[in-house]
A and B are shown apart, each in its own frame.
Chain A
Amino acid sequence: MKARTKFLIGGFVILGTASYLAAKTTTESATYFLTPSELAARVQADDDFRENGVKVGARVVKGSIVRAPGGKEVAFTMEDSTGTTFPVVYRGIIPDTFTDSVEVVVEGRLDDRGTFQATVLLAKCASRYENAPGKPGEGGYPAGAQHPAGIPKTGAGHPAGVPTGGYGASDVAPATPTPPAAAPRP
């Protein structure tokens, strides 16, 4: 047999094994990535869909965050542009970037009472460097925004509890959230 043929056989064995592993784990670790309204639609169509672990990308409803003391549990409501909402309970370390109106990805499943039990909570990734809520791809000040007068002066005093007290939740989020699905480009 020519060396070239042997090499090709070896190559196919390697790539074939890799592809087999890839195909197998793709099916095993595949997770739906949905918006709240897509999740609602699927659960309505087939109630067993609750059994699936899913990822949901959504926005945190302003003012809905309730942090349990200790910074390891939080409840909030998520919504999408259609107004579909789900209550969420998450247990674990809360990421620094998690705040009001931010876009989050939660991973977990919907329980029987319609609460999303999240095991993973990702707030908008820091590698996108954006500061404030905005359209995907471009944060910062939306064009023509008004002065962010919504920022209250919390006073110079140092807040007592770290993420739990004072400035943790709803009162300091910069104003001017933009609706997430503003004007889809063709």
Chain B
Amino acid sequence: MILVGELSLWVALLMATWTATVSFAGGATRRAELVVSGERGLYATLLFVVLASAGLWTALLSADFSLRFVASYTSANLPTVYKITAFWAGQSGSLLFWALILALFSGACVFANRARNRDLMPWVTGTLGAVLIFFIATICFASNPYERLDWVPPDGRGMNPQLQNPGMAIHPPMLYLGWVGTTIPFAFAVGALVTRKLDAQWLGAIRRWSLISWFFLTIGLILGMWWAYVELGWGGYWAWDPVENAPLTSWLTQTAFLHSIMIQEKRGMLRKWNVSLVIGTFLLSILGTFITRSGVIESVHSFAQSAIGTWFAVFLGIAFVASCVLVATRLRDMEAKAELESMVSREAAFLYNNLVLVGIAFSVLWGTLFPILSEWVRGTKITVGPPFFNTVNVPLGLGLLALTGIGPLIAWRRASTENLRRQFTVPVLIGVATVAVLMLAGMRHFTALVAYGLSGFVVGTIGQEFWKGVGARRRMHGENPALATVRLVARNRRRYGGYIVHLGVAMIFAAFAGYAFKQEYDLTLKTGDVFRARDPFGHEWTFTSQGISQYERLNRQVTAVGLVMTKDGARVPGVLTSEKRQHVDSRGVPTFEPSTEVGLLEGHMMDVYLVFAGMTGEDTAELRLSFNPLVWWVWYGGIVMAIGGLIVMWPQAERARQGGYVTQLAPEHAGASPTPAPVGAGSA
């Protein structure tokens, strides 16, 4: 199976080449048999990429340490689940994983469009084939997971303990699903540009794919934050690290596209912009894959030294230039069909939303790539740190939060004073009340107050929409509130799913603001020593060291310190325990440096976070303890965003698509926000 897998990789490369060549030829000559052959070629590519992946999984599971990849990332005593996830633990395997997901997505896309979008499909298939060629060729020639060692080591080196965590096991696949998902819209953009069919057709074909990509990017980002928080032990979830920034930029442009697509659907505006966003998101995904996989930015060594750097640079260059040429030669086919009529309109709100999202994406990209840019320009690497990202992005982020509330409620074309008064009075009051309550409670942190005021405003707009919608259904259909809510959402999925996503966004912003109140202490505690502190909410805590214990587990030796806690004088159940783990291989030989397991007392409003730094003498522990407010609201917000995303992209039942439920609701909303018209229509 391993040999079959290795050979399949090369066959897949041939098949992908065939697919791209024949599909482009078929598109150019309009010969149907070539087009069909190209699509079959794509299915064949899929088959062989699956075989190649199955071969690597076989090698991992059967612990074939003659493969350098297997020997480098697994050991005989690694739990089976981590042998499976070792597939994406190293560079070459994760490139193959990228190719696998891309092949699966491409196959699904070609199959779903076997009777649709036929004029675009040759170019779509060809583009997908071309991207597959790039990935498979990079794997074959520059980073091959089937590379063999000259000798067979008795055991592998094992997996980095920090990766032996459920979050890290599924975080990369989620991110890859999101990144790979941007390829399909890109392929359709190429198809639409080449054939000059730049009307709504291609947008309809890719909306679902863009949502899928956005959905997985969201989950991937949140899981990455969670992993950094529980596993890395520095007490935070976001450090503006290049590997975090890379998926964030793709997420931002994808989010911008999901908003601006509505402007094009409703008003025929932003056509060039939308094509550019699709292309930009794809290029950022490729760049992001490269940044996370190569570590080129954290390394002081220059760009060209990375084995896959040249491959990625050349591919990005080709894709960028080809896209620019395509867009430039088609500009006249993308003239806007309408003009912006007023600054106080939904169009303007969405335009600013796009401006801010892309502005944030650009600043993050600038800060991330600054070392490389400065190396080109000045010959020496210069980095910019978190102050850069925070100074630029906090005001932009707050502006974005405000637009999250304004955009969905303001009228299209030109909002009347009446519209503004009716839609925004209550939410603004809620926002002001939020600030007033927090100030009474003693909060004086300006940025945090603004963030909470705006979060309150956004939640107010969403609550008001649900209130009005449910009220209308209750009057119209006599439904009870629960049923009315469910039906309201189920029958206007794009709209109310979108509100739920916005609710998650507001929750996450509130969590970010809460992080400003974090407190941190460095402690040295002997057995029995007590540490007293007052948390940001004003509760009194004591922490009593229970001393240090040592014991062994299956693949590790553990040294642990435990703290008994009281809060306002009452005993808190459980013991806050942080561990140092020394992982060992099957012969009992230590692998890696000791890793740290943080001690975490999680709460809805605040976490207590404990890091065991080391020991002085027999019973004295060096610790770092912190109060981290509202961290759970990041995870809650992420879950809410994911649920909202699922609702938006869930296929609409046929009857609802044809039915007039929305127009029945319309009287309430007609003047204010005539969004609902094409609910589900075209969301194929």
Contacts and interface: CB of A to CB of B under 8 A. Distances in A.
Interface stretch (A43-51, A82-90, A110-118, A131-139): A131-139
Nearest to A22: B392
A34 B593 contact: no
A15 B243 contact: no
Interface in A10-50: 10-11, 14-15, 17-18, 21-22, 24-26, 28-35, 38
Given A7-B340, A71-B622, A138-B143, A93 B153 contact: no
Contact of B616 (A70, A98, A131, A167): A70
Given A70-B615, A93-B611, A163-B614, A129 B160 contact: yes
Interface in B283-312: 292-296, 298-302, 304-310
B380 A143 contact: no
Contacts of A136: 294-296, 299, 301, 305-306
Contacts of B593: 96-99, 163, 168
* Residue of A97, A140, A146 with highest tally of chain B CB at under 10 A: A140
Interface in B61-79: 68-69, 71-73
Interface in A117-135: 122, 124-132, 135
Given A135-B305, A138-B307, A145-B149, A14 B399 contact: yes
Contact of A31 (B89, B308, B385, B594): B385
B383 A125 contact: no
Nearest to A186: B304
A132 B89 CA distance: 13
A125 B340 contact: no
Contacts of A93: 233-234, 611, 613, 624
Interface residues of B, number: 103
Contact of A7 (B158, B343, B596): B343
Given A7-B348, A69-B616, A69-B617, A131 B160 contact: yes
A71 B163 contact: no
- What band does the interface of chain A fall in when counting residues whose beta carbon is under 8 Å from B? 35 or more
A64 interface: no
A11 B151 CA distance: 62
Contacts of B557: 158-159
A168 B368 CA distance: 33
A151 B154 CA distance: 13
B295 A128 contact: yes
A148 B89 contact: no
A17 B395 contact: yes
A177 to B, nearest CB: 14
A18 B359 contact: yes
Nearest to A173: B593
B241 interface: yes
A141 B69 CA distance: 8
A3 B348 contact: yes
Interface stretch (B98-106, B433-441, B584-592): B584-592
B348 A30 contact: no
A31 B384 contact: yes
Contacts of B417: none
A7 B359 contact: no
A96 B595 contact: yes
A161 interface: yes
Interface in B193-214: none
A61 interface: no
B90 interface: yes
Interface in A160-186: 161-164, 167-168, 172, 174, 180-181, 184-186
A164 B548 CA distance: 15
A143 B90 contact: no
B391 A25 contact: yes
A131 B305 contact: no
A135 B382 CA distance: 22
A139 B366 CA distance: 28
Nearest to A42: B380
Given A7-B340, A70-B622, A154 B590 contact: yes
Contacts of B388: 22, 25-26, 28-29
Interface-centre pick from A38, A93, A168, A181 (highest chain B CB count, 10 A): A93
Nearest to B561: A162
A58 B296 CA distance: 14
Given A31-B384, A93-B624, A96-B596, A125 B616 contact: no
Given A70-B616, A184-B305, A185-B305, A141 B295 contact: no
Which of A72, A94, A103 is most buried by chain B, counting CB atoms within 10 A of its CB?
A: A72
A21 B360 CA distance: 12
B597 to A, nearest CB: 10
B550 interface: yes
Contacts of B392: 18, 21-22, 25
Contacts of B292: 127
Contacts of B363: 18, 22
Nearest to B65: A141
Given A26-B384, A159-B582, A11 B355 contact: yes
Contacts of A141: 68, 71-72, 149, 153, 157
B615 A29 contact: no
16 contacts: A14-B359, A28-B387, A31-B385, A57-B300, A70-B616, A71-B622, A97-B593, A122-B298, A126-B160, A131-B73, A131-B157, A136-B295, A148-B153, A153-B589, A162-B580, A184-B302
